[in-house]
Chain A
Amino acid sequence: DIVMTQSPDSLAVSLGERATINCKSSQSVLYSANSKNYLAWYQQKPGQPPKLLIYWASTRESGVPDRFSGSGSGTDFALTVSSLQAEDVAVYYCLQYYTTPRTFGQGTKVEIK
């Protein structure tokens, strides 16, 4: 199985400041045939299912605010919230969908400082 490791486990950021979450996979999730990284980011608020934010490592899902961005390739990825808003308080998960079993990171809790 591909192991996904996120860091940090939690972070507190002031409103309007940048938040960055890292995700590392135990093996590359880059598919050479199309040069796509099969890495997605999800946001989960209490009592709700996860919501897709980013897929293919850096493609923003329709309707997701542009303050959310994804970067990275191969085994190292990051999700950045450029200017944290109150509604961004949530747990964020990375997911590899390069192969089965699909595997998630352990989650990163983002709070307001």
Chain B
Amino acid sequence: QVQLQESGPGLVKPSETLSLTCTVSGGGFVSTFYWSWIRQPAGKGLEWIGRIYPSGNTNYNPSLRSRVTMSIDTSQNQFSLRLSSVTAADTAMYYCARDVSGSATIDERAFDTWGQGTLVTVSS
């Protein structure tokens, strides 16, 4: 059973950089999946931030592209998000999720496994 767990500071100051890590356990960190970050402000909808493939290839949401960097460490079964120059508008629950897309061997099921989420508040 694949499990994802987000970790990182819960409070970030305005203009600083938000850094989060997602650790994958349960044997699911294989080289055929994308790994995504998604966020959700309190009481609002879901916004896809971007994704990374184990090769290091990335796709970012154009709305955030200038501030987003994702990285991956397959030896540690982890992938990470950095969001620079944060403002109060970046306050949200941040989720990591497995993105089952582009596979020729298993059903393409989009975000089939999610972490529990980590709340990040941007405030001085």
Contact = CB atoms under 8 A, between A and B. Distances in A.
Q: Which of B45, B46, B47, B112 has the most CB of A within 10 A?
A: B46
A51 B115 CA distance: 11
Contacts of A49: 95, 97, 114-117
A97 B47 CA distance: 13
Interface residues of B, number: 26
Contacts of B62: 1, 101
B48 interface: yes
B112 A52 contact: yes
Contacts, number: 69
A56 B111 CA distance: 12
B61 interface: yes
B101 to A, nearest CB: 6
B85 interface: no
B109 A55 contact: yes
A95 B110 contact: yes
Contact of B110 (A1, A102, A105): A102
B110 A106 contact: no
B80 interface: no
Contact of B101 (A42, A61, A97): A97
Interface of B: 36, 45-48, 50-51, 59-63, 95, 97, 99, 101, 107-112, 114-117
Interface of A: 1, 36, 38, 40, 42, 48-52, 55-56, 59, 61, 93, 95, 97, 100-107
25 contacts: A1-B62, A36-B108, A40-B109, A42-B111, A49-B116, A50-B95, A51-B114, A52-B110, A52-B112, A56-B108, A56-B109, A59-B107, A61-B109, A61-B112, A97-B108, A97-B110, A100-B59, A101-B50, A101-B59, A101-B60, A101-B63, A102-B48, A104-B48, A106-B45, A107-B45
